[in-house]
């Protein structure tokens, strides 16, 4: 029997509405008691001294690179990175080699994740081999345990395939997650089109690439009554389109990555490839639009698009560097610094974006911090200031533009699957 007593934690759970300072006794993964001054007995005591206890965070958009690119990340190192970032659940994108387009690969990933303190859920491909030509066996993938479908990394561009995918997936009540990008407009692009791309001479990616695909997709979603989730929303135009679609009652959700609410394309003036992401960093107007979208519910979730790459892959000419950043370990600090402290979101709202909403989008059970419930918890210190140091990342990779940045809000640890993992 393993028992942990978390004393004097400030529990905030938007699902049960609880907001109180109490002790929590957890035994073998189940919340045994909640109350004041609970006796420790032989439980390991973790003194929280008023720090917060929140429902475990869920990142619905990560790239753990397994199978195929384990030198960048694998399920185990990715889960360690997630735990360090306060996440107890992640959903892995299927742009692996081979891609996750069959039940065998899904079963392999569940096996790799067995016994970890972080629940690792595979996302299945929308199309066979991520080729965008014909849909993958979605029923079989669903039964094998995928929580969503996506060809992330590539858009679903063939409109006939898009329609069939949305129709077919709608009977499973599983969302199609779209990487919204127009391949012709995007081609060869390296950064957002703006005065900065003009000055840097880097091949531009216009906002049109995202905006027009989102607008088109939403019409398809309306027409077939599909379930559509927009990955890594980055433009004011896309946010406007999603807002309108929600007002029309469409089954549409969206996510925003921390870098898209905290950085602009001005950062690229250094030609540092750690700022190279897809979608690219946009303008100050877009950053503000992402914050507005999170506040008014247009954006349902904060998702990191955790995209680890080896140093030798990023240490090249900007145009040749791959897109993406290590996201899991800075997401909470950025959310507190940019959203909570700037009063774009209240703490319960932030918890919804980091936990409740992504779990609901993926069809996972709500976390309820109550006696008899499964203990799936994230412990945080909202006031702690810390300096990001990529050398301390648990991820295998180091590609983060936030190295050296001082953030407010730090995770203290997670508890999930009967394991307590403190953040070192």
CA distance 107 to 144: 7
Does residue 255 contact residue 299 with C-beta atoms inside 8 Å? yes
Helix crossing, 236-247 with 284-296: angle to 10°?
A: 20
Rounded to a whole number of angstroms, the minimum distance from the CB of residue 5 to another protein is 51
Provide the 8-state DSSP code for 319. Answer: G
Nearer to another protein, 200 or 407 (CB): 200
Buried b (16+ CB within 10 A) or exposed e, 249-277: ebbbbbbbbbbbbbbbbebbeeeebbbbb
Nearer of residues 101 and 286 to another protein, judged by Cβ: 286
Q: 314: helix, coil or strand?
A: helix
In whole angstroms, the minimum distance from the beta carbon of 85 to another protein comes to: 29
* Residue with smaller CB distance to another protein, 31 or 200: 200
Is 97 one of the catalytic residues?
A: no
**How far, CA to CA in Å, does 119 sit from each of 18, 75, 89, 92, 218?**
24, 10, 4, 10, 31
- Smaller CB separation from another protein, 140 or 313: 313
Least spacing, CB of residue 306 vs another protein, in Å: 25
- The residues near 191 (Cβ < 8 Å, ≥ 6 apart) are 197, 200, 202, 203, 204, 205, 265, 268, 276, 280, 281
Residues 6+ apart with CB under 8 A from 100: 92, 94, 106, 109, 122, 123, 124, 125, 141, 146
Residue number with CB closer to another protein (99 or 204) = 204
How many C-beta neighbours within 10 Å does residue 379 have?
Answer: 23
Shortest distance, position 320 Cβ to another protein, whole Å? 7
The residue from 101, 211, 305, 381 that is catalytic is 305
Name the residue with tokens 């703490």: 347
Compare residues 35 and 404 and give the one whose CB is closer to another protein: 404
Residue with tokens 């030509």, as numbered in its chain: 133
CA distance 324 to 306: 7
Instruction: Please report how close the Cβ of residue 52 comes to another protein at its closest, in angstroms.
Output: 40
Shortest spacing between CB 325 and another protein, in angstroms: 18
Catalog residues that contact another protein under the rule CB under 8 A. 193-195, 197-204, 206, 270-271, 312, 315-320
SS3 content of the chain, % helix, strand, coil (to 5): 35, 25, 40
* Residues with a known catalytic role: 305
């Amino acid at each position: 029997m393993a028992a942990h007593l978390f004393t004097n934690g400030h529990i905030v759970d938007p699902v049960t509405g609880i907001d109180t300072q109490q002790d929590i006794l957890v035994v073998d993964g189940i919340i045994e008691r909640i109350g004041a001054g609970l006796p420790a007995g032989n439980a390991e005591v973790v003194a929280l001294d008023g720090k917060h206890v929140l429902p475990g965070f869920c990142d619905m958009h990560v790239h753990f690179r397994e199978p195929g690119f384990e030198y960048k990340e694998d399920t185990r190192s990715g889960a360690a990175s997630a735990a360090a970032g306060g996440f107890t659940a992640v959903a892995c994108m299927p742009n692996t080699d081979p891609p996750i387009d069959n039940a065998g690969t899904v079963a392999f990933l569940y096996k790799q994740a067995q016994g970890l303190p972080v629940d690792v859920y595979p996302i299945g491909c929308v199309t066979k081999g991520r080729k965008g030509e014909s849909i993958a066996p979605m029923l079989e993938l669903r039964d094998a345990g995928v929580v969503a479908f996506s060809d992330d990394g590539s858009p679903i561009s063939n409109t006939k395939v898009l329609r069939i995918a949305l129709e077919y997936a709608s009977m499973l009540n599983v969302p199609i997650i779209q990487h919204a990008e127009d391949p012709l407009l995007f081609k060869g692009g390296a950064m957002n089109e703006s005065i900065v791309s003009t000055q840097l001479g880097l091949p531009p990616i216009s906002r049109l690439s995202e905006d027009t695909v989102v607008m088109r997709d939403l019409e398809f979603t309306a027409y077939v009554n599909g379930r559509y989730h927009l990955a890594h929303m980055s433009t004011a135009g896309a946010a406007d389109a999603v807002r309108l679609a929600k007002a029309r009652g469409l089954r549409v959700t969206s996510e925003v990555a921390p870098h898209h609410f905290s950085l602009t394309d001005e950062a690229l003036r250094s030609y540092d490839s750690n700022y190279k992401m897809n979608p690219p960093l946009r303008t100050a107007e877009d950053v503000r639009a992402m914050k507005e979208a999170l506040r008014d519910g247009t954006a349902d979730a904060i998702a990191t698009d955790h995209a680890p790459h080896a140093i030798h892959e990023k240490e090249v000419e900007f145009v040749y560097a791959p897109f993406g950043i290590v996201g899991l370990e800075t997401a909470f600090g950025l959310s507190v610094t940019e959203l909570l402290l700037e009063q774009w979101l209240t703490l319960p709202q932030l918890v919804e974006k980091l936990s409740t909403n992504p779990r609901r989008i993926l069809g996972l059970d709500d976390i309820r911090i109550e006696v008899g419930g499964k203990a799936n918890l994230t412990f945080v210190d909202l006031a702690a200031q810390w300096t990001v140091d990529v050398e301390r990342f648990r991820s295998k990779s180091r590609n983060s533009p936030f190295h050296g940045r001082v953030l407010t809000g730090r995770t203290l640890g997670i508890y999930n699957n009967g394991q307590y993992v403190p953040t070192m």
